[in-house]
Structure 1
Amino acid sequence: MSVLFVTGTGTEIGKTVTTAAIAASALAQGRSVAVLKPAQTGVTADGTGDAAEVERLAGPVTTVELARYPEPLAPATAASRAGLPPVLPRDIADAAAKLDASHDLVLVEGAGGLLVRFDADGHTLADAARLARASVLVVVQAGLGTLNATALTALALRAYGLHCPGVVVGSWPAAPGLAARCNLADLPEAAGAPLLGLVPEGSGALPPSAFRGAARGWLAPELGGSATSADLAPAQWGN
């Protein structure tokens, strides 16, 4: 997976921190990494975007933004209200291909969920991933409601003919409740793909050095991590 798209089942569920963890793990293995943020919304021209946050946490990665819109809305709506051109699927695929030519790993972080609109014609991150012929990792929530949202995202991925290597829980609580613990066993079935990581809640607040030192332990080897199936197994969390 030299180009990996990262989407989520919603907003504020840990996509950026998960992207940073994957980037940090790749850097620790001596790989070169680029992070592409096609559309950054809700951030002013001089604000800190998601790509910059990944770089702060993970270390020296190449960061690219294709567009920035000031209002915290879906990219299509934010572009229209700002009077700015939208980002098109071909723009995203072309930018990913250009970065892929000079990096070992390219991470493309979406905005919101898989089917959030990027333009007035209804194009989405899924359209861009299909053009790029890339796999799509899904970042999910830990608790109630996540199985339905995960299953719907997986259904959409299959409809687009896209491969999902797995799912990552983007904010795993320190004291998980019953629903979260049970979901660890049920998420692979809902996604039709394995559980590949548990990123601890609050990881984005760690000092960068601590984040980089711990990141590989949160992820399975498929994502460059060192977590074993036992580390991700529900049995360790009790009944």
Structure 2
Amino acid sequence: MSVVIVSGTGTEIGKTVVTAAIAAAAVAAGRSVAVLKPAQTGVGPAEPGDAAEVVRLAGPSVTAVELARYPEPLAPDTAARRAGLPTVSPAAVAEAANRLALSHDLVLVEGAGGLLVRFDEEGHTLADAARLLGAPTLLVAPAGLGTLNSTVLSAEALRARDLTALGVVIGSWPKVPDLAARCNLADLPKSSGLPLLGAVPAGSGTLPPSDFRTAAPTWLSPGLAGTWSPAPFLSTWSPPPFTPAAPPIPSEA
């Protein structure tokens, strides 16, 4: 894999930190890495965006490229229209990714929000860029209640477009997961038909960069240059057995 699309099943679920973890693990394995952010929204002209955050966490050897930036935190098409700025086409994304792939072992293309968020006036999405690139897509999903539906829908959208789905990484695994999160570990692969390829602990983006780089491979499966295995993780966090409530004691007449 020279190019990988990283898409979330929604927003604010740890997609950038997962991208940084993959980059850090790949660098640790001796690979050269670039991260491409086609459309950065909700960030001012002088502020660091998601690509810069990946470099901060994964290390200065990572190349960061951003194609467009829009100030309002909206879907790229809407943000571009409101700002009076040009949109980004799938062809531009594919051209930039292919150019980076000529000089890097791995190019990570980080989307904005979910897979089918509109990028331009014609309704093109990250999925269209994936098709032009012939690149597999990694889904980043939250751990808690509601993630099964959004992950299954994203997986079905990839299959409907004959696109390759790599698997699912949980973007922010809680330190003390609730029952829903623990049940979702087993249910996500079964429901989506995709393998679980990692789980990044909540708050990992606040670690000192050196600690982040050291730990990153332990959060990801070997297919993502890591050492993480789903079996022991599932065993550790398997939900407790169901205990039915005791029937009420009938009151005496």
- Which TM-score bucket, shorter chain as reference? over 0.9
Q: What whole-Å deviation, never above 9, does each CA across 1:30-54 have from its counterpart, x for those lacking one?
A: 1000000000000111011000000
In the TM superposition, what is the alpha-carbon distance from 1:230 to its structure 2 partner?
2.6
SS of residue in 2 equivalent to 1:79: helix
> Which residue number corresponds to residue 104 of structure 1?
105
The two structures have a TM-score, normalised by structure 1, of 0.98
> Which residue number corresponds to residue 24 of structure 2?
24
> Which residue number corresponds to residue 67 of structure 1?
68
Matching residue's letter, 1:215:
A
SS of residue in 2 equivalent to 1:161: coil
Q: How does 1:1-239 map to 2 (within 5 A)?
A: 1-59=1-59, 60-233=61-234, 235-238=235-238, 239=240
Report % sequence identity. Answer: 69
Contact 2:11 2:114 in 1 (8 A): yes
The two structures have a TM-score, normalised by structure 2, of 0.93
Contact 1:99 1:106 in 2 (8 A): yes
Contact 1:195 1:232 in 2 (8 A): no
SS of residue in 2 equivalent to 1:46: coil
Matching residue's letter, 2:18:
T
Contact 1:39 1:87 in 2 (8 A): yes
SS of residue in 1 equivalent to 2:153: helix
Matching residue's letter, 1:216:
P
Query: How far apart in 2 are the matches of 1:159 and 1:68?
Result: 30
Please provide the CA RMSD for this pair.
Answer: 0.8
Query: How far apart in 2 are the matches of 1:218 and 1:232?
Result: 10
Stretch of structure 1 that moved more, 64-73 or 187-196: 187-196
Query: How far apart in 2 are the matches of 1:116 and 1:50?
Result: 17
Give the 4+ runs in structure 1 shifted more than 4 A.
none
**Residues 1:89 and 1:46: Cα distance change in structure 2 (over 3 Å):** same
SS of residue in 2 equivalent to 1:18: helix
Contact 2:198 2:230 in 1 (8 A): no
Matching residue's letter, 2:144:
G
Matching residue's letter, 2:27:
L
Query: How far apart in 1 are the matches of 2:232 and 2:221?
Result: 9
Q: What whole-Å deviation, never above 9, does each CA across 1:32-89 have from its counterpart, x for those lacking one?
A: 0000000000011101100000000000200000000111110000001111110000
Contact 2:34 2:106 in 1 (8 A): yes
Please say which structure displays the higher CA radius of gyration: 2
SS of residue in 2 equivalent to 1:232: helix
> Which residue number corresponds to residue 250 of structure 2?
none
In the TM superposition, what is the alpha-carbon distance from 1:169 to its structure 2 partner?
0.3
Matching residue's letter, 1:44:
G
Query: How far apart in 2 are the matches of 1:218 and 1:130?
Result: 28
Query: How far apart in 2 are the matches of 1:231 and 1:84?
Result: 49
Runs (5+) with no aligned partner, structure 1: none
SS of residue in 1 equivalent to 2:181: helix
Contact 2:204 2:212 in 1 (8 A): yes
In the TM superposition, what is the alpha-carbon distance from 1:3 to its structure 2 partner?
0.4
Q: What whole-Å deviation, never above 9, does each CA across 1:139-169 have from its counterpart, x for those lacking one?
A: 0010100000000000100111111111000
In the TM superposition, what is the alpha-carbon distance from 1:228 to its structure 2 partner?
1.9
Runs (5+) with no aligned partner, structure 2: 241-253
Query: How far apart in 1 are the matches of 2:226 and 2:67?
Result: 29
Matching residue's letter, 1:224:
A
